[in-house]
Structure 1
Amino acid sequence: MKNFRLVGLFFLVGFIAFAKPAIAQERSINYPDFSWEKVPQYIHIRKAAAFTDEEIKFLSGFPLITLEKTTGSATYGSTDQGSIMAAKAIKTINPNAKILYYRNVICHYGGNTFDKELMKIQAPFLVDQKNGKGKLIRGTVEAYDLSNKAFRDWWVKSAAKICNSKYIDGLFLDGNIKVLEPGFLLKEIGADKKEQVKEGYLSMMASMREALNSEKLMLANIIRARLPESGLEYINYFDGSYLEGFTAPVNLSYPEYLAKGIDAVQRAAQSGKIITMNFGLGESANTTDKIDDTRSKLKDTEGVQDLLNYYMSIFLVCAEKYSYLNIHDGYSVNTKNGVCDSKVWLQQFPEFDKPLGEPKGSATKVGYSYTREFEHASVWVDIEARKGKVTWK
């Protein structure tokens, strides 16, 4: 345990200095295309059936794409094969698109061809220390025991195998906050086991980086203002951070929480990390722990303009090179009885077609109000009033 703590201290020092990547490995980082011409976008998506030609063409317009769990599984028999086939089709149109394969570090979402190997590992899942029951995530999903080295070896090996496909550009890592949040599963597994799981996670992240081809990306759901240093104490394990739950405060007032999050994103982005900022348009349906950014479905797009302006303004006061915005109404684009889960799928908000231009400097902060100038736009946002505006020149 002492050695793991020393490793943790080393990474914290790396975070403070924002120096070289924490993993000692020569890398040729293959970042996505980026331009200030318009507001840069990212997309995070899943569909159980194969994407249509129209959908593939739409996806190929994004420089950075995460193919979520279940992608293509109904058509190709598994998420890993479905993701590879979708990535191959996208790259036929846009070879420069960077496509990430989804894995969760703590939640067992099945449907991959390599799951049968997991069943050969002894005790791969956490159990309640009082009654021995499993499925500790929402009472329906198994939680990985990251203190189990045999499990970690399987997780790293299986993820690397898919990510080293010529059609996949890296790994999207979800569930990190569940591991790092001190209180999550503490009651069920106890303090000692919780610490062992966290230490196993840190070891697994280091191993994952070393197992990947040097050009492959690792993007994690890691920056969250609820953590002591907003997740920046772990950022150097990764090439960047996905962001969700940005406006769902924990242990702080709403403006204090957002200000802390904005500061963390600005620091990470200015250090050269990839940022993908995600905002959902549906009303929040968060659970009490507010770890997952769950939202109700959007009935239509009427009345979302003020929210769209607010979210875009928050993004633009944070954005640097390799920062991307995703405004959505859920990641599922499955269709049932002719009705798609998403009301904005295959559509583009007009604001994303307006000229932006390079920033003229960093954002200026006065109280809880931020302003920033771009070549073709002026940005203002007041996070206490929960209002924002982009004035297009």
Structure 2
Amino acid sequence: MWTPDSFALDAIEMPQATDDTKPKTAYPEFTWDRIPLYMHVRKAKSFTAEEIRFLSKFPLITFEKANGHEDHDSVEAGTLIAARAVKEINPKATILYYRNVIVHYGGYAANKGLEDISGAMLHDDRGNTKLVRNRISAYDLSNSQLRDWWLNSCKIMTADASIDGIFIDGNIKALEPGYLRRQIGANKKEQTMDGYHLLMKQTREAIGPNKLMISNILRARFDDAGLEYLDYFDGSYLEGFFHNVGGVNYEEYVAKGIDAMQQAARQGKIIAFNAGFNTPENTSALGIDESHAKVNSDEAAREALIFPLAIFLICAEEHSYFRIHEGYSADEDDRWMRWLPEYDRPLGPPSGPATKVGFRYSRKFQHATVQVDIQKRTASIQWQDLES
């Protein structure tokens, strides 16, 4: 049985060999039997045995930044230890290693290599490199040595058999023309955007065709809602779905996001749809980052579940997965392990795509009928008994 001390630290220094026979089409396990679920989590210390057993229930898991670094000296070590523990219980689980493409987070063993790279971080005209939220550095993606360093860190981790791919975050910041433009200047911003596109092409080559690339990329703020960038990736994580930006009204913004998610899902892309139980005001720079709010009870959580779950079901296709949460950290309490009764209800496959009339959507599944009105911000999910 797995315990937090089951793996010695020296066991993670050399990754296990990649299984080159794994086809690129070996996406996460999927079934319509129940709501297909996704997990996205981080914990500074080791996961307990109970937490590992809980995680093993999910077909698709991202171990976020800061994972396990306090107990195991690095994010890489903590991620591999957690991933191998989950795989020991559920070998079919698909596990993604988190890397941010622009924001420099601490705790990674790979960060030591940055000491040898001149000009690795972006800076303003005063030489200040703490540009992200005025406290964190950002990578200069126009620097070829920086890109090589970033690629190598991903290549090393995805060479391990317990890691099925990488989760690439920070794409919106890299691609949003206004992000950091004032601090670094228009020319440097253009150069970093060019560097981003080159890096994404290089990443696929570096990790090989048998490992997944999932990005945080679909967002209605883009001209084509991120679909214009999706060819780099096997799928997309979605957040900030209900935070309209750029002067677009709420229903038009959400409708554009629904359309993009439907198109991507129908193309066979993996969808990892994330939403909060509550949608607090988005106060981040340019409305890019998403904040989260707590719910006080399971009853409140079940009530808040309906609207985002209905949106997901309107869009879902094979290899679409759902997550609702109060934040990504597992450090404070066990609320991230909340399991709602709806997760155990039979769902069954859809009878076809959703229908749309104005801003109203509906869709039928074998055991559920879903209706959404995004203009009124209402939704219903009518679950049918197995006998009906």
Structure 1 and Structure 2 fold alike (TM over 0.5): yes
Partner-residue secondary structure (3-state), 2:222: coil
Measured in 1, the distance between the counterparts of 2:295 and 2:177 equals 33
Given the superposition, is the C-alpha separation of residues 283 and 270 from structure 1 closer, same or farther in structure 2, using an over 3 Å criterion? closer
The 8 Å contact of residues 285 and 296 in structure 1, kept in 2 or not, is answered as: no
- 2:366 match: 375
Q: Kindly provide the amino acid, as one letter, of the partner of residue 324 in structure 1.
A: Y
CA RMSD of aligned residues (A): 1.3
Structure 1 unaligned regions, length at least 5: 1-25
The aligned runs of 1:12-161 (5 Å cut-off) are 28-129=24-125, 131-161=126-156
Q: CA deviation at 1:294?
A: 1.3
The 8 Å contact of residues 24 and 212 in structure 2, kept in 1 or not, is answered as: no
Q: Kindly provide the amino acid, as one letter, of the partner of residue 372 in structure 1.
A: R
Paired residues, number: 361
The 8 Å contact of residues 275 and 322 in structure 1, kept in 2 or not, is answered as: yes
Measured in 2, the distance between the counterparts of 1:193 and 1:301 equals 48
The 8 Å contact of residues 276 and 293 in structure 2, kept in 1 or not, is answered as: no
Aligned partner of 1:287 among 271, 283, 288:
283
Partner-residue secondary structure (3-state), 2:287: coil
- 1:304 match: 301
Structure 2 unaligned regions, length at least 5: 1-21
Aligned partner of 1:356 among 343, 347, 362:
347
The aligned runs of 1:323-334 (5 Å cut-off) are 323-334=320-331
Q: Kindly provide the amino acid, as one letter, of the partner of residue 134 in structure 2.
A: G
The 8 Å contact of residues 29 and 216 in structure 1, kept in 2 or not, is answered as: no
The 8 Å contact of residues 217 and 229 in structure 2, kept in 1 or not, is answered as: yes
Cα deviations by residue, 1:180-234 (Å, 9 ceiling, x for unpaired): 1111111111111111100000000000000113211010000000011101001
Partner-residue secondary structure (3-state), 1:51: coil
The question of 1:163 aligning with 2:158 is answered: yes
The question of 1:384 aligning with 2:350 is answered: no
Measured in 1, the distance between the counterparts of 2:174 and 2:264 equals 21
Given the superposition, is the C-alpha separation of residues 84 and 285 from structure 1 closer, same or farther in structure 2, using an over 3 Å criterion? farther
TM-score (norm 2): 0.91
Runs of 4 or more, structure 1, over 3 Å off, are 296-302
The question of 1:365 aligning with 2:356 is answered: yes
Q: Kindly provide the amino acid, as one letter, of the partner of residue 318 in structure 2.
A: K
Measured in 1, the distance between the counterparts of 2:344 and 2:198 equals 43
The 8 Å contact of residues 30 and 217 in structure 1, kept in 2 or not, is answered as: no
Q: CA deviation at 1:150?
A: 0.5
Q: Kindly provide the amino acid, as one letter, of the partner of residue 97 in structure 1.
A: A
The 8 Å contact of residues 302 and 340 in structure 2, kept in 1 or not, is answered as: no
Measured in 1, the distance between the counterparts of 2:299 and 2:366 equals 30
The 8 Å contact of residues 306 and 387 in structure 1, kept in 2 or not, is answered as: no
TM-score (norm 1): 0.90
- 1:228 match: 223
Measured in 1, the distance between the counterparts of 2:72 and 2:261 equals 37
Q: Kindly provide the amino acid, as one letter, of the partner of residue 357 in structure 1.
A: G
Measured in 2, the distance between the counterparts of 1:35 and 1:176 equals 29
Measured in 2, the distance between the counterparts of 1:119 and 1:284 equals 39
The 8 Å contact of residues 29 and 217 in structure 1, kept in 2 or not, is answered as: no
Q: Kindly provide the amino acid, as one letter, of the partner of residue 242 in structure 1.
A: Y
Measured in 2, the distance between the counterparts of 1:368 and 1:124 equals 46
- 1:240 match: 235
Partner-residue secondary structure (3-state), 1:88: helix
The 8 Å contact of residues 278 and 304 in structure 2, kept in 1 or not, is answered as: no
